[in-house]
Amino acid sequence: MSSAGTTRGAWMPSPWLNRLLTGVQGVLLLIGVSAMAVGAIALVQGVWAPGMVELPVILLSLPLAGMATVALHECGHVLAARAAGMTVYLIHIGPLQLHARRRGWRMRWRRVRPGHPIGFVLPVPDPSLSLRRQYRLTIVGGPAANLLVASIAWLAARCAGVDSNLGAFCVGIGVLNFAVALINLLPVQGRSGATDGLQWANVAQWHEADAPAYVLAEFNGWTCQGVTADRLSPSRLDVLARSDLALCHSWFALKAAQQRGQWRQAAELQPQMEQRLAEAGHAAAQWETLVMLLRCEFAFSRAMAGSAEMEVLDAGLTAEADWIAPALRPRCRALMAVRHADPAGAQAWLRLAEAAAEDQVDRALRATEAVLRDAIRGLLKAE
């Protein structure tokens, strides 16, 4: 799965069609897994000596084959994104998560939670190029990788002989990859998000440059190239404010106010954000991490504005926030140290915040974080 996303007004299959296509996905998955199981049995029987325990090996081969197929699919998205000129920001392959840094990748292992995709790639487009073309190439890259491997597996099966043990194993690999490609190409909105097919259908509808998903993708591209939030088009930001991406508007508006040093105005944006969150209803769950970051930034802005309340600014942050925004917690700790008259501690936290921020691929984020650190240093000098 890549992440072009779906927004209000985008095409969605009707409930009955979505249920039907979900059923088709289930049948395809059953066929693919069954073929892989038969192939694994054939291969094990061909290489295992009589009397040895075969069942554990067969059972182990199925999840390994499944994870390898998912990894192949996501690598297809990654290669296609880079070929299209995009910057790959996040890669999730089962429990393995990779976050792009200026000096390589940061890696962690996390259990896949129910309702979350088992594989995921988040690319950021180059706004100077056609966004539709970039996303189309990226989306098709995953299924194309599976179809390529399926074709190679079929050729290998014919060369080895379909009736042979190795040939049967190759057939299993081919059927599983073919099934995964078809499953992803069907336009389905599932619990874990939109399939590649549904994302393709929605990207194809980006005929107008003021589609909310288009505007968000464009803004992400510009910020990655160093355009800070205060320099983004206000009229384009209003497009997000009027859509189901209004919380993204809150983020850009907050960062713009922080960039200008307008701390009180930044803090006063919180009631609007909370109202938007309440209006999101059940969809609010998908914004959990963004809301966490927003609330922390609002607390930071209140402290910078001179609030008398000595808040624990990073109290609401979790390990997920540290993963996505590693500079935020040390920056908050630096400001708390200043407010507690601990200049040495503040300087130490500022160094950690700078190291974390300067390793980010988002150039606008690096610029904004530098402004925020300078503002904290200004408070230190005023002490």
Q: What CA–CA distance (Å, rounded) separates 362 from 151?
A: 38
Per DSSP, the residues of 255-312 read HHHHHTT-HHHHHTTHHHHHHHHHHHGGGGGGGHHHHHHHHHHHHHHHHHTT-SS---
Our separate counts of H helices and E strands in the chain read: 15, 6
For residues 318-333, give the mean pLDDT. 96
| Cβ partners under 8 Å of residue 24, min gap 6 | 186
Q: What is the pLDDT of residues 245-277, one digit of tens each?
A: 999 999 999 999 999 999 999 999 999 999 999
- Amino acid identity of 90? L
d(CA 189, CA 199): 9
Q: What is the pLDDT of residue 78?
A: 97
CA dihedral 303, 308, 310, 313 (to 10 degrees): -20
| 189-213 burial code (b ≥16 CB/10 A, e <16) | beebbbbbbbbbbbbeebeeeebbb
Mean pLDDT estimate for the chain:
91
Higher per-residue pLDDT: 282 or 369 = 369
Residue 310 has pLDDT above 90, yes or no: no
| CB atoms inside a 10 Å sphere around CB 239 | 19
**According to the model, what pLDDT value does residue 7 have?**
44
The mean per-residue pLDDT over the stretch 180-203 comes to 92
% of the chain with per-residue pLDDT over 70: 93
DSSP per-residue string spanning 324-358: H-TTHHHHHHHHHHHHTT-HHHHHHHHHHHHHHHH
Q: What's the mean pLDDT in 332-347?
A: 96
Confidence (pLDDT) at 47:
60
Strand segments, DSSP code E, in the chain are 87-93, 96-101, 104-109, 119-124, 189-190, 193-194
Looking at residue 38, its pLDDT comes to: 87
The mean pLDDT value for 105-127 works out to 89
pLDDT (tens digit per residue) in 129-179 = 999 999 999 999 999 999 999 999 999 999 988 888 889 999 999 999 999
Percentage with pLDDT > 90 across the chain: 74
- Inform me whether the pLDDT recorded for 361 exceeds 70: yes
pLDDT score, position 9: 44
* Structure token pair of residue 127: 């706004």
Residue 52, pLDDT > 70, answer no
Residue 262 sits at φ, ψ, to 5 deg, of -90, 75
SS3 label, residue 103: coil
- Residues β-bridged to residue 99: 90, 106
101: helix, strand or coil = strand
Give the pLDDT of residue 3: 58
